[in-house]
Protein backbone atom coordinates (compact mmCIF):
# COMPACT_ATOMS: atom_id res chain seq x y z
CA UNK A 1 0.00 0.00 0.00
CA UNK A 2 1.23 3.44 -0.92
CA UNK A 3 -0.11 6.06 1.48
CA UNK A 4 0.40 8.87 -1.03
CA UNK A 5 -1.49 6.97 -3.75
CA UNK A 6 -4.26 6.20 -1.23
CA UNK A 7 -4.49 9.88 -0.29
CA UNK A 8 -4.59 10.93 -3.96
CA UNK A 9 -7.26 8.32 -4.76
CA UNK A 10 -9.33 9.55 -1.82
CA UNK A 11 -9.13 13.15 -3.09
CA UNK A 12 -10.10 12.00 -6.59
CA UNK A 13 -13.01 9.92 -5.27
CA UNK A 14 -14.27 12.75 -3.03
CA UNK A 15 -14.09 15.20 -5.92
CA UNK A 16 -15.99 12.84 -8.22
CA UNK A 17 -18.70 12.30 -5.60
CA UNK A 18 -19.00 16.06 -5.13
CA UNK A 19 -19.22 16.76 -8.87
CA UNK A 20 -21.55 13.82 -9.40
CA UNK A 21 -24.22 15.66 -7.41
CA UNK A 22 -24.62 17.70 -10.59
CA UNK A 23 -23.78 14.98 -13.11
CA UNK A 24 -26.08 12.39 -11.52
CA UNK A 25 -24.18 9.49 -13.09
CA UNK A 26 -24.97 6.27 -11.16
CA UNK A 27 -21.65 4.76 -12.34
CA UNK A 28 -19.79 7.46 -10.42
CA UNK A 29 -21.76 7.35 -7.17
CA UNK A 30 -19.07 5.34 -5.35
CA UNK A 31 -15.80 5.61 -7.29
CA UNK A 32 -13.10 3.02 -6.55
CA UNK A 33 -9.58 2.44 -7.86
CA UNK A 34 -10.67 0.72 -11.05
CA UNK A 35 -13.68 2.95 -11.81
CA UNK A 36 -13.41 3.89 -15.49
CA UNK A 37 -13.24 7.65 -15.97
CA UNK A 38 -12.44 8.53 -19.57
CA UNK A 39 -11.97 6.55 -22.74
CA UNK A 40 -13.65 3.51 -24.23
CA UNK A 41 -15.48 2.40 -21.06
CA UNK A 42 -15.23 5.74 -19.27
CA UNK A 43 -18.12 7.43 -17.54
CA UNK A 44 -17.01 11.02 -18.26
CA UNK A 45 -17.41 13.01 -21.45
CA UNK A 46 -14.68 15.47 -22.40
CA UNK A 47 -16.41 18.42 -20.71
CA UNK A 48 -16.86 16.52 -17.44
CA UNK A 49 -13.22 15.41 -17.57
CA UNK A 50 -12.06 19.02 -17.90
CA UNK A 51 -14.23 20.05 -14.94
CA UNK A 52 -12.87 17.16 -12.86
CA UNK A 53 -9.25 17.96 -13.72
CA UNK A 54 -9.68 21.65 -12.89
CA UNK A 55 -11.19 20.80 -9.50
CA UNK A 56 -8.48 18.23 -8.82
CA UNK A 57 -5.65 20.62 -9.67
CA UNK A 58 -6.95 23.00 -6.99
CA UNK A 59 -7.58 20.32 -4.35
CA UNK A 60 -4.29 18.54 -4.97
CA UNK A 61 -2.41 21.82 -4.84
CA UNK A 62 -3.97 22.52 -1.44
CA UNK A 63 -3.35 18.98 -0.15
CA UNK A 64 0.27 18.68 -1.27
CA UNK A 65 1.30 22.34 -1.38
CA UNK A 66 2.46 21.97 -5.00
CA UNK A 67 1.03 23.23 -8.26
CA UNK A 68 0.46 20.56 -10.87
CA UNK A 69 -1.15 20.63 -14.30
CA UNK A 70 -3.06 17.50 -15.21
CA UNK A 71 -4.26 18.27 -18.73
CA UNK A 72 -1.06 19.09 -20.57
CA UNK A 73 0.57 17.84 -23.76
CA UNK A 74 2.44 15.18 -21.83
CA UNK A 75 -0.78 13.66 -20.48
CA UNK A 76 -2.51 13.80 -23.83
CA UNK A 77 0.38 12.18 -25.71
CA UNK A 78 0.69 9.06 -23.54
CA UNK A 79 -0.12 5.75 -25.16
CA UNK A 80 -2.25 4.74 -22.16
CA UNK A 81 -4.33 7.68 -20.97
CA UNK A 82 -3.68 8.68 -17.36
CA UNK A 83 -7.40 9.51 -17.20
CA UNK A 84 -8.70 5.99 -17.89
CA UNK A 85 -9.36 4.99 -14.24
CA UNK A 86 -9.18 6.51 -10.77
CA UNK A 87 -5.99 4.54 -10.07
CA UNK A 88 -4.33 5.50 -13.36
CA UNK A 89 -5.03 9.16 -12.57
CA UNK A 90 -3.70 8.75 -9.02
CA UNK A 91 -0.50 7.12 -10.34
CA UNK A 92 -0.06 10.00 -12.81
CA UNK A 93 -0.61 12.61 -10.07
CA UNK A 94 1.91 10.81 -7.86
CA UNK A 95 4.49 10.91 -10.64
CA UNK A 96 3.89 14.64 -11.21
CA UNK A 97 4.20 15.37 -7.50
CA UNK A 98 7.47 13.44 -7.25
CA UNK A 99 8.90 15.19 -10.32
CA UNK A 100 7.84 18.68 -9.29
CATH number at residue 35: 1.10.1200
Total tally of structural domains belonging to the chain: 1
Q: Structural domain of residue 35, as residue ranges?
A: 3-99
Distance (Å, whole) CA 60 – CA 83: 16
**pTM to 2 decimal places:** 0.94
d(CA 11, CA 13): 5
Q: Return per-residue pLDDT of the chain as tens, 100 residues.
A: 589 999 999 999 999 999 999 999 999 999 999 999 999 899 999 999 999 999 999 999 999 999 999 988 888 888 899 999 999 999 999 999 999 7
Q: How far is CA 33 from CA 7, 65, 84, in A?
A: 12, 24, 11
Amino acid sequence: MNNVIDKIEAIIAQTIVQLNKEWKNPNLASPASETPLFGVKGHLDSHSLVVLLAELEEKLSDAFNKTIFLADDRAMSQKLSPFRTVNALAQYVDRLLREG
